[in-house]
Structure 1
């Protein structure tokens, strides 16, 4: 941990005859000044002084110092380990607080959008229907609509206020909490109270009227029921009725204990190496390719002292090239490190450190088409593209700044020419690479989420910010624009946030891997439009006692690896086809 280090820079000193050669010996004769102590090889040959080798003198001086340092390290090591845990917990608290603030921001945006959508709904009218009302002098209907709209607005405000308050509870001790509460009271207080009985009377009057081609609206009882289901209701993700054709079964003896927080995992090209984040460090494990349950994973190396905060992303280079089995890591400290192994793939060294981001790295991927492009998304609201130069050095070649908040998720297509991104601003970007190798934003969708994944070039899925639903999009072949299709609710068993456990689509098995709350869900996904209820099937849901779960799947779909805070161990599950 500590090494003796002289205050002086000995290389700055000259020999006593000023030969301008490196000093190599020390004159131990008493009474000499410091500029008379050092000698070089020429000094020794010319004067035949009785001198001692410099390295031996340094070794003698540093021996008792090293003993003291060893004693000191024994004393402080337990303290430092505890402080590292303390620091890790602070970092985790910071991450949780930021996520909670993100959720609050999202809730307020949804509230604003709900009110605006209601206004847009009111603004649209059928000219001929309104003309009939005008001719027949039936203005009462407009009064009914006005009262109904007031009541709906009041219901929206009350429901959203209650929901927002539940998310504000952890911030009661924060400065500004009372101001937020006062604003909520003003919103509710400014809304005219509409008597429920009066609304029902208006509904009855409305039903009794025989207005030609009147626009149909739900009864208030139906509206309240719908709003209790969070305003909009989506089909629940269906479980496989005939039983899943496969399952991922845990290999009990194939585990690796790790008490430190693990927010990222990666598997190499042939399922023999696994990289596991361990707070600020990375553990490289080797396993038997056949996943023999009698052979436990072995720690090859712990990559330390490069990241200053928790590692959030890990990816292996997997193509047969000079980068094979190299590893890339991103961290909350805003840096990206590329690690390269030796020829036996048993030891990794930090070869490049990329520092262009200013805040945490939230997502990172390598273009699988040729692995000549790295893409990173950050809490600094930017997406950066990294390319290898002619001098075998990685540099930032382009930055996209279209997001207005944290970038959470990235996905690139098989051809490596189309990129998806999603962020805390509830925005999805569709970005394409031109012939000039420049990336351009081609489409923006204002209904994003926390994680995103291509399924095919024409279909992608996005996990909502709260992580409780999956939204599918498909490309309109006529204009090349992606359009929202179905949205499915997912049973999560708790909060669904899936930050640092990204959506992952496995092409070979047609499996969409999605972490939602306490569950890791394996979903059969459609590969061609239309996207209907019968094509999106929940094949398996793996339950965990706590919802702090991180994991990944191998490229061939044979292996599912997870870490969870309850077991504090890396668990391995093997794909098994059912007969």
Structure 2
């Protein structure tokens, strides 16, 4: 793990801890304010000694503390209920799995969609030890080649029969590589790094850098491309979203500056006329392309309760959003009348008190109607059914929050790297 990557992750850790502490202290201060019926909250007192004296005041012991205790119970009660609910759900899932395994094959429970139950099984003998952090992965169009970032390097692997064989190492990046994206119509791929640089790679017997773009003043967090491969979109730690179009070379087209903090992930809809984004500022932006103006315009600004690292279009009228904390993923649907996206349902996933590895994007595979979403120390594989339900088919647990990976476009392989095992691991789809 490079020094730069370690510092960036450490800063992110402190930011999450600071946020949780601030929320806890705010609640405690508000309760104390109510007990003393103070005009000015304790946290606004300028003298620390004055605060200490106030808390040691013997009057505190004379006050009827019934309301105070009641308020504390009210704060703790939702947490207890949430934990109990989580345990009940886990118990129900365990009972259902036990019941299904004990039934004869003819009486087995039917999957509520056109697909059979499945899981992704690790091929242990094909794992590769990798000490440097692998924050990004990408497959070429026929899944015969895989690119992986290893700090500042990009390693190119031949991928055959679930075996990775290293064939090239690219050294041109000066900073850690955070995003990789293969073009499906041509033998090219794009990489972005923590210094804001984007490199276009082409091949002529060997891979070489055909264009370098200084795209952002902060690290590249996400890079997506349209199907025609004449447009790609980037988001950055510098709070911006930028659009790039292909002429003779790739050139800048437009910048969106509505986010106030770093932009974590982007997703493009099927029609490729809308982009959604989520950021550290607890905002989801819906951005639409207007052909008459030849311009991308923010048409909706959604404020969410907690920030998230992952967002993904399911179809033109629906997308999912994963907050970093809690056990719920949110589903947003476009209202037919207002044409605005509104939250319509929640998907119960694993509980998490924080989330890292924000560079692991959500993916929705239409061929398998499968959503791939990291949350905390788990990768959740969620099936969308014919009746528009979302069912967690498999939750792969890791011993680390720092997990990075990518599913192949056909859904046959899931390749991951995590900071605990320090291994590139390959999992293969198997129907049960």
Q: Work out whether the TM-score is over 0.5.
A: yes
Answering whether residue 426 of structure 2 is matched by residue 564 of structure 1, we say no
Q: Please point out which of 383, 396, 410 is paired with 1:542.
A: 396
Does the CA contact (< 8 Å) of 2:349 and 2:392 recur in 1? no
SS in 2 for 1:399: strand
Would the alpha carbon gap of residues 488 and 525 (structure 1) be closer, same or farther in structure 2, given more than 3 Å must change? same
The verdict on how the C-alpha distance between 1:564 and 1:198 changes in structure 2, with shifts beyond 3 A counting, is closer
Q: Describe the superposition over 1:432-485 as per-residue Cα deviations: whole angstroms up to 9, x where unpaired.
A: 111133110010111141111111112111111347541221111111111113
Q: Which moved more, 1:247-256 or 1:471-480?
A: 247-256
Does 1 or 2 have the higher relative contact order (CA < 8 Å, sep 6+)?
Answer: 2
Q: Deviations over 1:354-393 (max 9, x none)?
A: 113101111111123x12111110010000000012xx21
Aligned residue number for residue 315 of structure 1:
181
* 1:7-33 C-alpha deviation (Å, 9 max, x unpaired): xxxxxxxxxxxxxxxxxxxxxxxxxxx
Aligned match of 1:452: 311
- Within 5 Å, which residues of 2 pair with 1:157-196? 195-196=64-65
CA contact (8 A) 2:261 2:279 kept: yes
Q: Distance in 2 between matches of 1:470 and 1:512?
A: 12
Task: Pick one of 465, 469, 474 that aligns with 2:324.
Answer: 465
Shift of 1:93: 2.2
The CA deviation at 1:248 is: 0.8
Higher radius of gyration, 1 or 2: 1
C-alpha separation between the residues in 1 aligned to 2:46 and 2:371?
A: 40
Going from structure 1 to structure 2, the CA distance change for 1:99 and 1:470 (only over 3 Å counts) comes to same
How far apart, CA to CA, are the structure 2 residues paired with 1:338 and 1:148? 58
- Find the residue that maps to 1:513 and give its secondary structure: strand
Give the C-alpha shift of residue 197 in structure 1. Answer: 2.4
CA distance in 2, matches of 1:379, 1:551: 20
The alpha-carbon deviation at position 328 of structure 1 amounts to 0.7
Aligned partners of 2:266, 2:26: CA distance in 1, in Å?
25
How many pairs does the alignment contain? 398
- The residue that corresponds to 1:226 in the other structure is 78
Please identify which structure carries the higher strand content: 2
The alpha carbon displacement at 1:423 in A equals 0.5
| TM-aligned CA deviation for residue 258 of structure 1 | 1.9
Provide structure 2 residue ranges, at least 5 long, that are not aligned to the other structure: 101-115
Q: Is the 8 A contact 1:423 1:450 kept in 2?
A: yes
Q: TM (normalized to structure 2)?
A: 0.80
Shift of 1:285: 0.4
Instruction: Indicate the residue corresponding to 1:197 in structure 2.
Output: 66
After superposition, where does 1:30-49 map in structure 2 within 5 Å?
Answer: none
2:250 to 387, 394, 405: 394
Cα distance in 1, alignment partners of residues 14 and 362 from structure 2: 22
TM-align CA RMSD = 3.8
CA contact (8 A) 1:515 1:521 kept: yes
Q: Which residue of 2 aligns with 1:362?
A: 221
Q: 2:237 matched to which residue of 1? A: 379
Q: 1:521 to 1:352 in 2, by over 3 A?
A: same
Aligned position for 1:299: 166
Helix, strand or coil for the counterpart of 2:11? helix
| Structure 1 residues 220 and 562: CA distance shift in structure 2, 3 A | closer
> Distance in 1 between the 2:23 and 2:401 partners?
25
Cα gap change, 1:537/1:316 in structure 2, threshold over 3 Å: closer, same or farther?
same
Contact (CA 8 Å) 1:469, 1:489: kept in 2 or not? yes
- Mapped partners of 1:474, 1:569: distance in 2: 38
Name 2:299's counterpart in structure 1: 442
* Comparing 392-401 and 257-266, the one that deviates more: 257-266
Name the structure with the higher helix share.
1
In structure 2, the partner of 1:31 is none
Give the deviation of 1:221 after TM superposition.
4.9
1:174-225, CA deviations, whole angstroms, 9 ceiling, x for partnerless residues? Answer: xxxxx99969x79x96xx977442568xx9xxxxxxxxxxxxxxx9855641
